[in-house]
Structure 1
Amino acid sequence: MIGWGVTMLALAGPAATTLDSVQVQAARVRAVDDADLPASMTTLDVDAQGNGRGALVSEALAGVPGLLARERQNLAQDTQLSIRGVGARSTFGVRGVRLLVDGVPATMPDGQGQLSHFNLLGAERIEVLRGPFSTLYGNASGGVVQLWSGDGRAGDPWRLRAAVGGNDSHSLGLQLKGATPALRYNVAANHYRTQGWRAHSAARRESLNARFGMDLGPERTLELVVNALEAPHAQDPLGLSREQAQAAPRHAAAVATAYDTRKSVHQAQAGAVYTQQRDQRTWRTMAYAGQRTVEQYLAIPPAAQASPLHSGGVIGLDGGYGGIDTRWAWQATLAGRPLELVLGANADRQRQHRTGYENHVGEVLGIKGRLRRDQHDRVANLDQFAQAWWRIGPRWSLLAGARHSRVRFRSDDHYIVPGNPDDSGRRDYTATTPVAGLVFRANEVLRLYASAGRGFETPTFNELGYRADGGAGLALDLAPATSRTVELGGKWRFRTGARLDLAVFRADTEDELAVATNRGGRSSYRTIGATRRQGVELEWRRPLGETQELQLAWTWLQARVREAYLTCTGLPAPCTVPSATVAAGTALPGVPRQYLQARWQWRPGAWQLAAEGTASAATVVTDLGDARAPGYGLLNLEAARQWSTAQGALRVFARVDNLLDRRYIGSVIVNDGNGRYFEPGPDRTWTLGVQWQWAVR
């Protein structure tokens, strides 16, 4: 879970007896081109010359096939992130996709993660891994997103960046980056505030990310990573019905203002990585720890909280987490050809105090009332892994691995009153997930590959939190989802700098988890049986002369139910006994059939000009497939100009999003029990900013 970093041999070039070893993260070899790996991978350079707000990670995730990052115009809820349809059902946070920052996990042992503390100001690149090799990251790894901060070097400039935009939004950031004889550093702090495009969506975020590197001696290094986030009182406008979204897309749901729905998050964490290389062996140990506090006010009416089993309309989460990861890599030969073996283990633990309170006192709504829930939750995993790479011929290479995971959940209930019994419980999940891939070097520009693997996904504590039948206790009957994934692909790298990646994939899942009911900000889940996600991804980049570049990312994805099952409609009242049939072949909600992103960029001299286009097919929003958000197409423009001065480089930039002022649904809330499925996207908005970089002497 910490990030399956391994040491591997370079795959490119002619056969050799030994090659330099490189520290990597799960199938990603930094010193080797992605074309020589049997996996779908995209590396996004986080350009210091970016022209957006610089505060939301979704700005940097455009142009990755298979990945969908939808901003919800609601900073009380995280970016809606999915990879190949995995994670699309999530109504809060990120699940089913592994997230890491500088190798430190932003995903907890149960599979629940968040993007809110990803700091773009200090970032150098974002790596996105899709397909079977994602399973090497352990539980709930339908894909992997890693943000890496740049390593400080002597002479790096410091920079100050400020931007203002529509909806009374502004951001201010400072990055200090460089190196001394004893220390490499990259410290980035950012402030962002907005009134929000929709009513009742004002929010503020302060984030800090610091990375320090030290050389402890010959072939020994230590890196320290510190990360913090403050996001107090982010307002939640909730979703809208179709009629509301059409008539007044900027409005908030009436209950959002009545109950003052909002969320506060405070998080701080730190990690350390020690690496030592000696001869043909590498040892690497990572440890991290953090603290996270969340308080969220929901729009649950007092009448619904009358039941003694109800846990109230205010959620409180407070707890710590941490873990350790260690691995050993050995470089050798087998049958006269390069071989590398990696062995390792990691353990992670999260302790969380979960409380619930009524969201009213008497007739006054939106304030904390009586205690209705008090429990201590613990989740821990213990994983062991092995991976081997072997060049089996001059034009062939094999990469194979396996991971054994054990995830243990335990909840101790301290709120025991008449009508509400002791809800304590525990559940363990175990799985072994193998994966293998073969690469064939057809010629100097073309690589062909095939890969296959198994994966598994436990419920998160949020999904275990409420039983679908409305009864007391955790939903300990939920089974883990298991998947089988296969992928075939080709990668072309032309001498002109152009590149083309094509992948065809299929993932069959058993015991898929789906939303049972979603009402009043509370979701319960059930196991629905078998599903299938299959599709095609295309990524194309082509330089146009010395100053222009064209990028294209296209995804065709068919996500369907393979076995019929019963579900609840959710309207007009909460449902605990499913009676509506979801037929085999019904589309899974939250997943558009096609998604296209294109970007043209031109850098004539000191100028930078760019145009972006995004198009999405319609998105089903219920399990029954009886409602959907319409497709849309958007156009964005950018322009920037830079001047060199005696005090440093000064750059002014501007961006216009949704230039044609189209109305569209930017994200959806799957299976919302109130029929408020839609979160409208903003109309034409603008950003104007300035950046100053100066040398440190």
Structure 2
Amino acid sequence: MNLLRLKPLTLAIASLLSSGTLLAADATDDNAKELAEMTVRHSRPATVVQNPSPQAEVSGEQARNMNVVNTEDIVKYLPSLQIRKRYIGDRNAIIAARTTGTVQSARSLVYADGLLLSNLLGNSYAYPARWNLVGSEEIDTVNVLYGPFSALLPGNSAGATILMTTRRPENVEAHARVQAFSQPYKLYGTDMTAYGHQEQASGGFRVGGLTVSLMANHLDSRAQPMSFATATRATSGAGSVPYSGYTVDKDPSGVQRVIVGATSIDHTVQDVGKIRLAYDFGPESRLAFTFGEWRNDSTTRAESYLKNAAGQTVTSATGTSAILVNGQRYTVAASTFAPGNSETVNRLYGLTFDSRLADDWRLESAFSLYETPTDIARAASSPTATGGSVAFSDGTGWNNADLRLIWKPSGGKAGHTVTAGLHHDAYNYDYEKYNSTSWVNESSKTALTNRNHGRTKTQALFIQDEWKLAPKWSLTAGVRHEQWEATQGLIYTTTLGNNSFSDREASGTSPKLSLAWQATADWNLRASLGKAYRFPTVTELYQTEKNETTGAFRISDPNLKPEKIFAKDLTAEGAVGGGVLRLSLFEEIVRDALYSFTDYSLVTRNQNIDKLRVRGAEVAYVAPEVMRGLDLTASLTYARSKVLENQLNPASVGKWVIRVPDWRASLLAVYRFNDQVSGSLGYKYSGKQYNNADNSDQWPDTYGGNSSFSTFDAKLSYRFAKGMTAAFGVDNLTNEKYYAFHPYPQRTFHGEIRVDY
């Protein structure tokens, strides 16, 4: 039936290597026959029906019915995914999937046109994918794989692998969009409006075998506060003055605190430019080069709520001017409300080459280099001080290289598709922090206060066979062997002095197995097993630092072990009610799980947890036209996580894994009223979760907590002329106040005009 022939396009995706290169849509005669009734554009990734992972997809056209500003917004309604995006322009938008939370950035992968965008230098909120190097207007499709079931992917795929494919122009085309957004925001003593605008243009042309694609983007965004300053309870001393403006409440563990102001109020200006050149030497040989540059200039400010008796704002409370609350003295350091700024330049160079060598053989390769020639962060020591600190991460970056060879006998008579390949990656982290006599000028640096340096490298060999056992049975079996090393580890702080570490090596072999059965004409069943290793990142090993301005302290561990993951999935998918329904049962057991989490004293620790388990079920439904004019996408996920063993923190045993919610749900309904007008309604739900390893944070619906939430979004679009569309939207319609430690946005209004040529 036609619906089942469309199913691979809707729910299946190509097996992706760690290179991210995908099989060309016309790679094999067999696929062309199997998908004969399916329209596949040349720019889309190939579909492989027997891919061993559960999958989901969203197209660029579908995304136009959502409130999309940043590229990561496109995946927000896909099953089990949660993007920790705290404001428009947030550089720390990391991915949580069905078995992972919003503190595990290294357990997901993001690729664009075969090039890795994931920042695997670390495993925390500070190491998100470089979404900015893809414009939302240039996206053709986004495909998602769940779990580490392919030998072609590293263990970082344990959560989710997101594959973005941009449009490849066949003729001259151009697209432009102008957006404005506004968020009235109230919390504690803050009453402000966060606002901004974005302009994006993309397009390209084709001349013979050469295609040229261009993208440029400018974003100017002001955010709500990311953090709130709390006064410190004094253990000695006497005296106080009658300050006003502070708020007394309780933190998520029920401990009284005194909120004295808002901090980390960011203003970001981001500019992106990208060019992609692709040349077809023949119908099945293509060379593509990509260059992208992303610049970010950011300033952060703070707002003190404290007022003295004369009604003047004050930014510190120490000694005899301490705050008195219920007979207890509280102090506020002068550094609490210090401003800061940063500037970064990020560059991506990428080269891919795919070619059919012979009737039965195909070669695919990808090479990429990501570098940060400029990465400077500056901070004042107080709101009025000229001195402060300056930090440099120039030279930090990574490179990846992948090569794979695919053998498939012509006509598929042997029933096998064998893929073998090699992978290499190398990560370099270099960080230095200095005192400065003039915090706005990095040339005024003085004494070195912090140095972190290290390198990691992984080399892998893999092979995978997709075997058609019988007309209704398919077996996918593979194995991946990885050799990892960490070298040149160095940590310096003024307290610890110089510390250098011996080089380390580790290896892991990861078998994979998946069996699929076409039970009926409409239903397919698949059972998948996969082992995987997730090796420590360079900053988990070698990043130890204290932020003298905020008091935040990060502690690394050069002896961390690699994660050992064993994942299972049982999936059924088929046609129901004009759409495609997928039902999945999953379990993941992780030994030596790598976690980085922050407690309420702002101490972040990297550690191994001996054994974790996550079990659950996922239901996903996609109906392109469930009724005339109405498209529906919906999902519901339940996950029961549990810490099984943890010698470092016995109090956590038997408790929920941090940041993994019990329930997740999403819904996107798009209705086309006529050829000119369409509207959408989106819904996201996330249930109970914890930030403390011992689950002591029983009051999560406050700053510092990880709250459940239920939010609605809406958008109305009107095409008022050929190729010209205006739209208005609202995110968080009910103005829900919710938190992922930091506050998420409140009700936000969007307006845009789009032109397509």
Name the aligned partner's letter for residue 364 of structure 2: R
| Pair 1:78-2:99 in alignment | no
In structure 2, the CA distance between the partners of 1:72 and 1:360, relative to structure 1 (3 Å rule), is farther
User: Is the counterpart of residue 259 in structure 1 residue 369 in structure 2?
Assistant: no
Instruction: Evaluate the alpha carbon distance shift between residue 500 and residue 544 of structure 1 in structure 2; reply closer, same or farther with a 3 A threshold.
Output: same
Give the drift of 1:259. Answer: 2.8
Q: CA deviation at 1:37?
A: 3.2
In the alignment, which residue of structure 1 is the partner of 2:258?
none
SS where residue 656 of structure 2 aligns? coil
- Secondary structure, counterpart of 1:591 in structure 2: coil
Partner of 2:229: none
Amino acid in structure 2 at the alignment position of 1:187: L
What is the alpha-carbon distance in structure 2 between the residues aligned to residue 116 and residue 333 of structure 1? 39
Cα distance per residue 1:124-147 (max 9 Å; x no partner):
111111023256311422221121
Identity %: 18
In structure 2, the partner of 1:688 is 751
**Other-structure match for 2:742:** 679
Which residue of 1 is the match for residue 157 of structure 2? Answer: 141
**1:99 corresponding residue in structure 2:** 110
Amino acid at match of 1:107: S
Aligned length: 633
Which residue, 204, 209, 214 being the options, matches 2:269?
204
- 2:655 pairs, out of 562, 586, 590, with 586
How far apart are 1:44 and its partner, in Å?
1.2
1:230: which partner in 2? 295
* Residue number among 138, 147, 151 corresponding to 2:168 in the alignment: 151
**2:149 partner SS:** helix
In 2: Cα distance, 1:377 partner to 1:583 partner: 31
The structure with the largest alpha-carbon Rg is 2
Give the equivalent residue in structure 2 for 1:617. 687
Q: How many Å apart are 1:453 and its aligned residue? A: 0.6
CA distance in 2, matches of 1:590, 1:68: 11
Q: What is the aligned partner in structure 1 of residue 738 from structure 2?
A: 664
**Corresponding letter in the other structure for 1:561:** V
Structure 2 CA distance, aligned partners of 1:582 and 1:466?
26
Residue 377 of structure 1, CA deviation? 2.5
SS of 1:121's equivalent in the other structure is: helix
Question: Are the equivalent residues in 2 in contact too, given 1:135–1:454 (CA < 8 A)?
Answer: no
* 3-state DSSP of counterpart to 1:356: strand
Equivalent residues in 2 for 1:514-533 (5 A)? 514-515=595-596, 523-533=604-614
1:263 positional shift: 4.2
State how far apart, in whole Å, the 2-side matches of 1:100 and 1:541 are: 24
Deviation digits for residues 461-483 of structure 1 (CA, Å, limit 9, x no counterpart): 22112469999996221111101
For structure 2, the residue ranges without an aligned partner over 5 or more in a row are 1-17, 183-193, 226-261, 306-331, 383-388, 547-551, 701-705
Shift of 1:423: 1.8
The answer as to 2:619 corresponding to 1:538 is yes
Matched, 1:169 2:196: yes
Contact 2:218-2:272 within 8 A present in 1 as well: yes
1:3 aligns with 2:20: yes
Distance 1:534 1:634 in 2: 25
Q: Distance in 1 between matches of 2:560 and 2:430?
A: 22
Q: Say whether the 8 Å CA contact 1:298–1:521 is kept in structure 2.
A: no
CA distance in 2 between partners of 1:583 and 1:442 (Å)? 43
1:237 Cα deviation from its structure 2 partner? 7.3
Q: Which of residues 576, 579, 588 is equivalent to 1:507?
A: 588
Cα distance per residue 1:217-245 (max 9 Å; x no partner) = 4632111222221112253879x9xxxxx
Q: Contact conserved, 1:109 with 1:407, CA < 8 A, in 2?
A: no
Q: Is the 8 A contact 2:148 2:154 kept in 1?
A: no
User: Equivalent residues in 2 for 1:399-418 (5 A)?
Assistant: 399-411=476-488, 413=490
Equivalent of residue 552 in structure 1, options 612, 634, 642: 634
Paired with 2:696 and 2:506, the residues of 1 have a C-alpha distance of 35
Query: Separation in 1 of the partners of 2:753 and 2:371?
Result: 34
Cα gap change, 1:179 to 1:472, in 2 (>3 Å):
closer
Q: Which amino acid aligns with 2:129?
A: Q
For residues 277-312 of structure 1, the C-alpha deviation after alignment (integer angstroms, 9 at most, x for no partner) is 1211101222222312433457999xxxxxxxxxx8
CA-to-partner distance for each residue in 1:98-126, whole Å, 9 max, x for gaps? 12121111235656652342432211111
Change in 2 beyond 3 A, CA 1:236/1:596:
farther
Q: What is the rounded CA distance, in whole Å, between the counterparts of 2:730 and 2:738 in structure 1?
A: 16
User: Per the alignment, do residues 343 and 300 of structure 1 end up closer, same or farther by CA in structure 2, a change over 3 Å counting?
Assistant: farther
TM-score relative to the length of structure 2: 0.75
Deviations 1:359-391 (A, max 9, x none): 7779x99x9652123454222221111111110
Q: Is the 8 A contact 2:342 2:375 kept in 1?
A: yes
Task: Verify the 8 A CA contact 1:361 1:369 in the aligned structure 2.
Answer: no
| CA contact 1:468–1:517 (8 Å) conserved in 2 | no
Question: Which of 119, 130, 155 matches 1:115?
Answer: 130
Q: Does 1:485 align with 2:590?
A: no
Shift of 1:690: 0.4
Helix, strand or coil for the counterpart of 2:500?
A: coil
Q: Deviations over 1:517-552 (max 9, x none)?
A: 658876331222100011111111222333111221
Alignment of 1:599-638 (within 5 A): 599-605=668-674, 606-627=676-697, 628=700, 629-638=706-715
Match of 2:579 among 492, 498, 502: 498
2:431–2:453: 8 Å Cα contact kept in structure 1?
A: yes
Task: Specify the SS of the correspondent of 1:454.
Answer: strand
Q: Which residue of 1 aligns with 2:322?
A: none
Range that drifts further, 255-264 or 220-229: 255-264
Moved more, 534-543 or 44-53: 44-53
The one-letter amino acid paired with 1:332 is: P
User: CA separation in 1, counterparts of 2:200 and 2:54?
Assistant: 33
**What are the Cα deviations for residues 415-464 of structure 1, in whole angstroms up to 9, with x where unaligned?**
69996234243222211111111110011110000000101112212211
- Return the alpha-carbon distance in structure 2 between the equivalents of residues 109 and 2 of structure 1: 14
Provide the residue aligned with 1:570 in structure 2.
Answer: none
**Which 10-residue stretch deviates more, 349-358 or 407-416?**
407-416
Q: Which residue of 1 aligns with 2:428?
A: 351
Q: What is the CA distance between 1:87 and its match in structure 2?
A: 5.0
- Counterpart in the other structure of 1:565: 647
Q: Which residue in the other structure is 1:327 paired with? A: 404
Which of 205, 228, 232 does residue 178 from structure 1 map onto? 205
Q: Displacement of 1:2 after TM fit? A: 2.3
Is the 2:360–2:409 Cα contact (8 Å) retained in structure 1?
Answer: yes
Bigger mean CA deviation after superposition, 281-290 or 105-114: 105-114
